[in-house]
Amino acid sequence: MPEGHIPEQHSDDGRDLTPTADLLNLVFGFQPAIGSGYLDWYYRGNPEGPASVGNAHDDGRLVGNYALIPLRFHTARSSGTSGVLRLGLGVDLSTHPESRRTGAFRRTVEDSYRAGTADGLDAILGVANAESVPRMAETLGWRRMPDFRARFLAPLPDGVDTTSHPVDGDLLAGPLPDEALPQPTQPPPTGHGTRWTAELLRWRLARPGARYVLHLREGVAFVSTVSRHGPLRVAVLLKVLARRPDVRPVSPRAIAAVLARHHRTPLILHWGATPLLRPGGFALPRRLMPSPLGLVLHAFEDDGVPRLIEDDLTLTAFEFLDFDAY
């Protein structure tokens, strides 16, 4: 598919999203509860296009939901050109408790196949908890991808000036996202990563109810938030973005020092992979993760021919901000 091309969408018909919000609140117990406004942002506001949504109904009642959020993933090919895949980030997979073991799960997922195929997606990339990954791999035949480990970063300042900007409506309406990403991100040296633009960053930082901080320093921008894990206050590094093509990897301890100072905590958490951070940090045992995360992949087909070879997709630039953990 040509880079920059967003095909006509088929799955978002402007329906009332209140039943979807009600189902998600029932299944996941969100506190505070989400509303249709949140889903309108998530399913319809993405500059890459609206979500491809799979549903299941019993007697007219919504009992299943799976949304595929379109994102572009690119890779540096040996020829020097950038190969682009259009993947659907699978989120909000849910079935009503009263409809489990009735086939609602499979009907929901298969409906998402229909929607994603019609909307021109190449595959579904699912980020799932430890319980869901085996089910999707064994029951649905999806490919289980290598896990990422969370790590704590030890702060150590490096003296490079960094500015920190809490995200609010004024920031999003102003020039700072464009200054953070004056041009689209380049593909990682190996493997695949999300193709970020200033427009995509502005949308992602506008997540309702989120409290983000955008940090700028020479060569890179990074996004953080703060979270509580029991009595502990933890700063979370969500994403590191290159502001120009020739950026060298940054010390994770220097980034951690900025977060420790801004969020007033020595505990700095990072999950995922990025070529923009040097190796370092202390691996967080899986048992200490609130919900260990896994990745699964399902390629769509055209007349039995996969739109991508699943073994060819390797994520080397994928972090918390690339999906909806925070």
Same domain, 34 and 92: yes
Half-sphere CA count of 196, side-chain side, radius 13 A: 29
Taking the model in full, what pTM does it have? 0.92
Tell me the per-residue pLDDT of 91-134, one tens digit each, with 9 for 90 and over. Answer: 999 999 999 889 999 999 999 999 999 999 999 999 887 778 88
Between CA 256 and CA 282 the distance in angstroms is: 12
Question: In this structure, are 63 and 22 located in the same domain?
Answer: yes
Stretch 67-79: mean pLDDT, rounded? 86
Residues 228, 234, 235: CA angle, nearest 5 degrees:
125
- Which residue is it, tokens 């993405």? 46
> What type of residue is 128?
A
Q: Poorest-confidence range of 138-142, 159-163, 177-181? A: 138-142
279 Cβ contact partners less than 8 Å away, ≥ 6 residues apart: 252
Tell me the pairing of strands 232-242 and 268-273. Answer: parallel
Residue 233 lies in a domain: yes
Name the pLDDT band for 230 (thresholds 50, 70, 90).
confident
Question: What CA dihedral angle connects 228, 229, 231 and 237, to 10 degrees?
Answer: -50
SS3 (DSSP) at 104:
helix
When pLDDT is averaged across residues 184-202 and rounded to a whole number, the result is 96
Instruction: Find the mean pLDDT for residues 135-156.
Output: 90
- Domain finish residue from 80, 105, 121: 121
Identify the CA nearest to 319 among candidates 271, 265, 285. 271
> Looking at the domain assignment, is residue 188 inside a domain?
yes
Q: Which domain holds residue 104?
A: 18-121
d(CA 254, CA 277) in angstroms, rounded, equals: 10
The CATH number of whichever domain residue 253 belongs to comes to 3.40.630
**Average pLDDT value for residue range 19-43:** 96
Question: Is there a single domain that holds both residue 36 and residue 113?
Answer: yes
229 within a domain of the structure (yes/no): yes
Render pLDDT for 282-299 as a digit per residue (tens, 0 to 9).
887 666 565 668 899 999
Same domain, 179 and 278: yes
Instruction: Give the separation between CA 293 and CA 290, rounded to whole angstroms.
Output: 9
Number of independent structural domains in the chain? 2
Pairwise CA distance, residues 67 & 284, whole Å: 30
Residue 27: give its domain's CATH number. 3.40.630.30
